[in-house]
Every structure is written in C-alpha cells, then in structure tokens.
Amino acid sequence: MSFLTRASTLIAAVALGLAFAGPGAAAGTPHVVIPRIGLDMPLSRTLDGGPLLYFHDFDTWAIAAHRTTWSHPFNQLPALRRGDVIRVGTHVFRVRKIKIVRPWETWITHYKGLVLSTCHPAGSDAYRYVVFAREVTKTRGS
C-alpha cells in the first residue's frame, strides 16, 4: 500500500470517527430507526450506550447492539421480516435476509449494505443474529 493510499485511508478514518464519535447523542447524531420494532435511537460511541457503528466503508454499514443488557435496543430484532424498512440517518434500507452466524464470522462485514447484529440466543454470546439490508434511497437533506 502506498504512502498516499495509507494517508488518505487514515484521513477518511479520522473524519468518520469524528462524525460518529461526537459527544454522546448530540444533535445531528444519526439515528437508527426501525418502525416494526419501535426503535429510534442515536448511534452511540460505545456498545453499552446503544447501537454502535463498528464498521463502515464505501458500501457497508455494520451496527451492533445489545439484546438483553444495558438499553437492549436490538431485543426485538428477530421480529424483522424481509422488506421491512430501516433508516440510519438519511439512508433508507430494506431487509433482504436474516442469518445466524458464529461470532468469528467476519465475512458479514463484506455485505454491500446494512448489517445489524446482536447476540443469539438472547443472553448468550454463542451466536450472532444478523440482519442484512440493502440501501434503497437517501432521504432529503442527504
């Protein structure tokens, strides 16, 4: 990897980190909105604080949240169905598929779209319940 590529990657990572790691849930912090389960929470800087954006690149958003502890925002994630709408900030996604995987299966971050993950079964760290969604549009102001 060239110096220029490394430098631009570092700058992008710092910019993204500043965009999502602002103070708490300050005004302008993107929210995760899932109408089917009544969720509307800002992205958090920590997993214990709410949904955490743990991976993001040009075409992948990976967000994890607790299912049974802390604020348990993804407690009802298994209620989602194919076609359900999920919004993250100005981005709108539709659920495409749902899988149960082992925690070390990092291939999920190669999905082009949104990846939501939480523990499975509830209260256990043996597996991850993963929802995959494709971006359909951006709302006004994006």
Structure confidence at residue 66 (pLDDT): 94
What count of residues does the chain have?
142
Q: pLDDT tens digits, residue range 84-116?
A: 999 999 999 999 999 999 999 999 999 999 999
Instruction: Give the pLDDT of residue 28.
Output: 80
| C-beta of residue 67 within 8 angstroms of C-beta of residue 118 | yes
Distance CA 42, CA 111 (A): 23
DSSP secondary structure of 82-93: TT-EEEETTEEE
Number of domains composing the chain: 1
Task: Please report the beta strands in 6-139, taking only residues with DSSP state E, as ranges in sequence order.
Answer: 31-34, 39-42, 52-56, 60-64, 85-88, 91-101, 113-120, 127-138
Give residue 101's domain range. Answer: 3-138
pLDDT at residue 12 is higher than 90: no
In the predicted structure, residue 4 carries a pLDDT above the cut 50: no
Confidence of residue 24 (pLDDT cuts 50, 70, 90): very low
What pLDDT sits at residue 14? Answer: 34
pTM of the predicted protein model? 0.78
Give the contacts of 9 (CB within 8 A, at least 6 positions apart): 1
For the domain that residue 28 is a member of, what is the CATH number?
Answer: 2.40.260.10
Look up residue 62 and give its two tokens: 């990976």
- Beta bridge mates, 99: 130
- Looking at every residue in the chain, the average pLDDT score rounds to 83
